[in-house]
């Protein structure tokens, strides 16, 4: 991987997979030149890179920022937050890459690291973070679970206010809290959207509500301050239907309808692209993926180009 990385950086200082990277893209402007919210990459898919090469790679492709993984097994380990996170932010900024957001395991449960993580991040200019997931206790009713989790949300809202940072809960498919998006309305309806809210994942919203997701987006829109972009399709494998992530524009997500609603509802905030489809193991955060850096970068570039074109089309 080191040789591949070195060769990649050498041969792509002006281009990535044959596409010229213009100065205004590297500086973080849209292809159209219009100002827009930063497009970031959830750093899990590039955890095999150190901070310096992470920044260089994102800048060469054209991304504006990194959505840094600051959790167990992440790019920055929570116990090393005070030492490693400033190093990461400084290294990324050298390449013109901002760090407006991060992913954490923080979920309002008692954890002595919570204030240390949020305080350090806030001091470094991070304005948004993704919360950790909440689970259902099978021994309790659904309502009892939500009542308990609402107390955790209220506690975390106060901590967020203290540090001037916004915590967002990502909707996720399956049986965790927030898979049914109405869970999130119940948890957040009495909370201040400035301090706490939703990281709306359109791909996973479509997975759980193929036709009803617009209703949930309208309901939750006051609390949507960051958004996740990904695409998927259903595939039959070994006789069973499975959700399978695919490159942007190749799946079932109706991005035109989504972005029209996104604009119409006046939503804004950092956008984070998640790479969940096959990248030789990199999509799972593996340190030694089977794909080379330049192979992975082709996928990064293709999704970035597709997304920026689509955002420009909708004047976002």
At residue 29, the pLDDT reads 39
Total domain count, the chain? 1
What CATH number did the domain enclosing 83 receive? 3.20.20.150
At residue 292, the pLDDT reads 97
Full residue range of the structural domain in which residue 100 is found: 2-313
Element (H, E) at 184: helix 182-188
pLDDT digits (tens, 9 = 90+) for 66-91: 999 999 999 999 999 999 999 999 99
> Distance between CA 262 and CA 271 in Å, rounded?
12
> Distance between CA 269 and CA 264 in Å, rounded?
14
Rounded to the nearest angstrom, the gap between the alpha carbon of residue 137 and the centroid of all alpha carbons in its chain is 27
- Low-confidence stretches of the chain (pLDDT beneath 70): 1-34
Q: What are the CA-CA distances from residue 301 to residues 25, 46, 62, 296 (Å)?
A: 12, 14, 8, 9
pTM for the model stands at: 0.89
Q: Tokens 């308990």: give the residue.
A: 148
Read off the tokens for 124.
Answer: 């470094």
At residue 187, the pLDDT reads 97
Averaged pLDDT score across all residues of the chain: 90
Beta bridge partners of 233: 244
pLDDT digits (tens, 9 = 90+) for 283-292: 999 999 999 9
Rounded to the nearest angstrom, the gap between the alpha carbon of residue 102 and the centroid of all alpha carbons in its chain is 8
Rounded to the nearest angstrom, the gap between the alpha carbon of residue 11 and the centroid of all alpha carbons in its chain is 28
Residue 96 half-sphere exposure toward CB, CA atoms < 13 A: 17
At residue 191, the pLDDT reads 97
């Amino acid at each position: 991987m080191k040789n591949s990385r070195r060769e990649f950086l050498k041969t792509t200082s002006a281009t990535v997979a044959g596409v010229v990277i213009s100065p205004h893209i590297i500086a973080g402007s849209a292809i159209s030149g219009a100002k827009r919210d930063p497009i970031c990459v959830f750093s899990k898919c590039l955890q095999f890179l150190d901070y310096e090469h992470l920044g260089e790679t994102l800048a060469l492709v054209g991304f504006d920022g990194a959505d840094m993984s600051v959790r167990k097994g992440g790019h920055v380990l929570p116990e090393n937050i005070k030492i490693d996170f400033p190093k990461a932010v400084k290294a990324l900024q050298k390449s013109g890459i901002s760090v407006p957001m991060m992913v954490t395991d923080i979920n309002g449960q008692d954890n002595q690291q919570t204030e240390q993580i949020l305080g350090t991040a806030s001091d470094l200019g991070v304005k948004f973070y993704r919360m950790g997931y909440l689970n259902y206790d099978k021994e309790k009713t659904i309502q009892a679970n939500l009542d308990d989790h609402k107390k955790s949300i209220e506690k975390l809202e106060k901590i967020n206010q203290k540090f001037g940072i916004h915590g967002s809960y990502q909707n996720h498919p399956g049986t965790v809290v927030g898979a049914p998006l109405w869970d999130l309305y119940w948890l957040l309806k009495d909370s201040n959207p400035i301090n706490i809210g939703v990281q709306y994942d359109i791909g996973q919203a479509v997975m759980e509500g193929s036709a009803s997701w617009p209703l949930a987006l309208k309901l939750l829109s006051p609390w949507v301050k960051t958004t996740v972009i990904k695409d998927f399709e259903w595939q039959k494998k070994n006789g069973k239907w499975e959700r399978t992530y695919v490159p942007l524009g190749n799946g079932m997500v109706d991005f035109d309808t989504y972005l029209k609603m996104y604009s119409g509802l006046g939503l804004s905030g950092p956008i984070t692209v998640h790479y969940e489809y096959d990248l030789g193991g990199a999509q799972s955060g593996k340190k030694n993926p089977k794909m080379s850096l330049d192979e992975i970068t082709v996928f990064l570039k293709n999704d970035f180009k597709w997304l920026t074109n689509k955002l420009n089309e909708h004047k976002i």
